[in-house]
Amino acid sequence: MNYLYSFANASLTLRVVEYLQQHRDLPLSFMTVIHQINGWVVRVNFFRPLDIDQHGDFQAFLAELGIPFEPNMRVQMALWGLETGQSPVEVMQRYQIAVVSHGSPDRLEIEAFRSQFVQGLGYCPETLA
């Protein structure tokens, strides 16, 4: 079961990571985080469908923070490549997409990306707040 959402900034994306880390009872398979100029794309994949209560709670949580995301073909292909075992570096090179994290939810990867990006720019864009 997949959930694919777009978030306006890094802080909201980090809240999804925290939620998943706090709810270890969810059958999480992997989480993918992609940074785009206009925000963040997060895909959460579960080993099996969530029960009705879990699904409702998780979907409500995601809807509070972001909006459902309809990927263009390039993002779809990148997500498929990651799911089939291609490395994030391969996917980034092939599809010109910034894969920040893929696998277990990892706050440190997102914070490191944000820090390096801001350092390179010399200022903090709204999407990295």
User: The domain that contains 79 carries what CATH number?
Assistant: 3.30.70.1950
Q: Where are the alpha helices (DSSP H) in the chain?
A: 10-22, 52-65, 73-83, 88-95, 107-121
Residues 43 and 17 sit within 8 Å (Cβ to Cβ): no
CA distance 122 to 120: 6
Domain that holds residue 100: 2-128
- List CB contacts of 22: < 8 A, sequence separation 6 or more: none
pLDDT, average across residues 107-122? 79
Handedness of CA 116, 122, 124, 127 (dihedral sign): negative
What pLDDT digit, counting tens, does each position of 19-62 carry? 999 999 999 999 999 999 899 999 999 999 999 999 999 999 99
What pLDDT digit, counting tens, does each position of 90-111 carry? 999 999 999 999 999 999 999 9
pLDDT at residue 3 is higher than 80: yes
Higher pLDDT, 16 or 125: 16
pLDDT (0 to 100) of residue 113: 85
What is this structure's pTM? 0.90
Domain count of the fold of the chain: 1
